[in-house]
Amino acid sequence: MILVKTKYFMRYLPIHIDMKDQLLLVIGGGAAAEAKLRTLVKTEAHIRLVSEQISKQIQKWANEGRIEWVARDYKKRDFKGARLVYAASEDDARNAKIAKQARKRGLFVNAADQKQACNFITPALVDRAPVAISIGSEGTSPGLARAIKADLESRLPASLGALALKVNELRKMVKTIMPSLVDRQRFWADILSGRDLTHQIRLSPDEMEQRVLQKLSGYKDGRKGFVALVGAGPGNPDLLTFAARQRLHAADVIVYDRLVSKEVLDLGRREAEYIYVGKEPGGKCVPQSRINEILLEQAARGRFIVRLKSGDPLIFGRADEETDVLQAHNIGFEIIPGITAAAAAAANIGVSLTARGKNKAFSIITGHDSKGYAEHDWAAMARNDDRFAVYMGVGASPLIQSRLIDSGMNANIAVTIVENASRPNEYVVETTLGQLGHIIKTTPIKGPAVLLIGYAVKAANRGHHDSMKEAAQ
Ligand code: SAH
């Protein structure tokens, strides 16, 4: 994982200034002034231009009443009452002088093509008023800013401004029906978010209205909570599905397990409520019956609940117990799969879980069940030379070792233990079935770990782990 630390502080603060009826002074009447005015005339500012001569285009704006032209050379008293000043004559030295005079009076001034004389700069602009995107590089790379502008210009439809105005109109209606701010935020997130932002923003104002009305009618028909059982994967947020991210963004409440990583939780909304229902191994735990109750209570409040489980929710996740209760209470739910620990562990050590000519089946077993260490059909597993992943198996590993060897499995077969798979502190231990119990006793394994029985680390992947460990230190 590469963390890029930005040490660069912004020298320029991007803000949008209310210029309605404010005096904006432009000094100059040639090409430089005209270039600045192209943006300025789009605002509601009162533009006063002082110059003996003006270009044809500026004359046109004056005729249209967009600017007030004062046909003479500027005087210091012109600064009086101005909010912003543009020194945009055709003479650089003169512009620098004007800028100095204006700054002395505490004014915001921009001098054409002379960054050091300016105390504000005008960004490159993508104009879809009232939507405006300003792009600046603090003068470091105007070409890059222009390229970003060109890219956005080609992607944002001309109708975006109309869409924003429509949304503003609809917001009032939505507010009367939905008094809660959190509900409204979620409503708009549902309307506007999606796989493809460029699709959402291409809606015509009418289509947007249709969508909003349709969704509002569903809302009025009785609000019921909804539960998404979401697989959080093995911990690294890069391994989340797109659907999981989306549900996290939309959740009112996130009910999460012990093994869900902080990095994944950080993707939830700040306003969401977070409820921890972790089960510590051999320690404190929130009983499943209480978790079920929490889901029902939250659903009764009409909330969108994300039930976040590590890995895949359908593998040792007790998902059925929760979905049975939801079904019995007629509460809608969906399941978003996640990357299970064995898949992440195998990927990181570079081995195939099933391999032609080696194993036709692969099983995932648990080292622990409700009664303690779990028993399995060890004889069958040993006989078939099966390969499998053991979850919750660290404590049970001496038992697993003796059961398999007693059933005739070769003590030399490879066993790989992957702790904290996919996380920065991932740790891999390579051993054999015969050594497993001893290794577990002598190696401190505190994090979640999978035992991959019958799997050896692919040589090419060894360096990968060393570098991961170094990165984590
Ligand atoms: N639903 C989860 C499994 C939950 S059971 C999944 O599909 O992955 C908890 C067990 O999962 C842990 O005891 C450990 O064996 C395994 N596990 C979960 N996250 C892991 C990780 N990042 N690295 C290694 N094992 C992990």
Report whether 387 contacts 378 (CB < 8 A): no
Strand, coil or helix: 3? coil
- Residue with the smallest CA separation from ligand 1 atom 24 is 449
Kindly give the interhelix angle for 56-63 and 31-40, rounded to the nearest 10 degrees. 40
Tell me the C-alpha distance between 412 and 453, whole Å.
11
Q: Is 100 a catalytic residue?
A: no
Reply yes or no: is the peptide bond before residue 123 cis, omega within 30 of 0.
no
Burial tier of 83 (Cβ tally within 10 Å: 0-12, 13-18, 19+) = middle
The residue to which tokens 């921009």 are assigned:
110
- Residue with the smallest CA separation from ligand 1 atom 25 is 449
Among 258, 285, 288, 310, say which to mutate for ligand 1: greatest number of ligand atoms within 8 Å of CB: 310
Give a three-class secondary structure readout of 146-213: HHHHHHHHHHCCCCHHHHHHHHHHHHHHHHHHCCCHHHHHHHHHHHHCCCCHHHHCCCCHHHHHHHHH
pLDDT score, position 114: 85
pLDDT score, position 197: 61
Measure the CA angle with vertex 323, ends 322 and 326; round to 5°. Answer: 90
Report whether 282 contacts 264 (CB < 8 A): no
Nearest to 401 by CA among 449, 455, 368, 440: 440
Catalytic residue among 78, 183, 252, 257: 257
Catalytic residue among 97, 149, 215, 279: 279
Q: Are strands 368-369 and 372-373 parallel, antiparallel or unpaired?
A: antiparallel
> Does the Cβ of 347 fall within 6 Å of ligand 1?
no
| C-alpha dihedral sign at 306, 311, 312, 317 | negative
Q: Ligand 1, closest atom to CA 391?
A: 15
Task: Render 261-330 in DSSP notation, one character per residue.
Answer: -HHHHTTS-TTSEEEE--B-TTS-B--HHHHHHHHHHHHHTT-EEEEEESB-TTSSS-HHHHHHHHHHTT
Give the H or E element holding residue 128: strand 124-128
Q: Is 279 a catalytic residue?
A: yes
Strand, coil or helix: 83? coil
Q: Are strands 362-366 and 253-256 parallel, antiparallel or unpaired?
A: unpaired
> Does the Cβ of 316 fall within 6 Å of ligand 1?
yes
> Does the Cβ of 418 fall within 6 Å of ligand 1?
yes
Strand segments (E) across 8-122: 23-27, 46-50, 67-70, 84-87, 108-111
> Does the Cβ of 261 fall within 6 Å of ligand 1?
no
Nearest to 58 by CA among 33, 75, 25, 76: 33
Q: pLDDT tens across 417-465, in order?
A: 999 999 999 999 999 999 999 999 999 899 999 999 999 999 777 765 5
End-to-end Cα, the chain, rounded Å: 12
Strand, coil or helix: 359? strand
Q: Which two tokens stand for residue 342?
A: 């064995």
Report whether 80 contacts 93 (CB < 8 A): no
Residue 189 Cα to ligand 1 middle (Å)? 32
pLDDT score, position 242: 85
Q: pLDDT tens across 310-368, in order?
A: 999 999 999 999 999 999 998 989 999 999 999 999 999 999 999 988 888 899 999 99
pLDDT score, position 471: 46
The residue to which tokens 């577990």 are assigned:
440
Residue 470 Cα to ligand 1 middle (Å)? 23
Among 239, 314, 316, 420, say which to mutate for ligand 1: greatest number of ligand atoms within 8 Å of CB: 316
pLDDT score, position 290: 94
Residue 169 Cα to ligand 1 middle (Å)? 48
Nearest to 315 by CA among 334, 338, 333: 338
pLDDT score, position 111: 95
Residue 280 Cα to ligand 1 middle (Å)? 13
Report whether 194 contacts 202 (CB < 8 A): no
Q: Which two tokens stand for residue 222?
A: 């009785």
Q: Which two tokens stand for residue 40?
A: 């300025």
Report whether 371 contacts 393 (CB < 8 A): no
Nearest to 342 by CA among 453, 466, 444: 453
The residue to which tokens 């005015």 are assigned:
37
Measured in residues, the chain has a length of: 473
pTM over 0.75: no
> Does the Cβ of 340 fall within 6 Å of ligand 1?
yes
Low-confidence ranges of the chain (pLDDT < 50): 195, 467-473
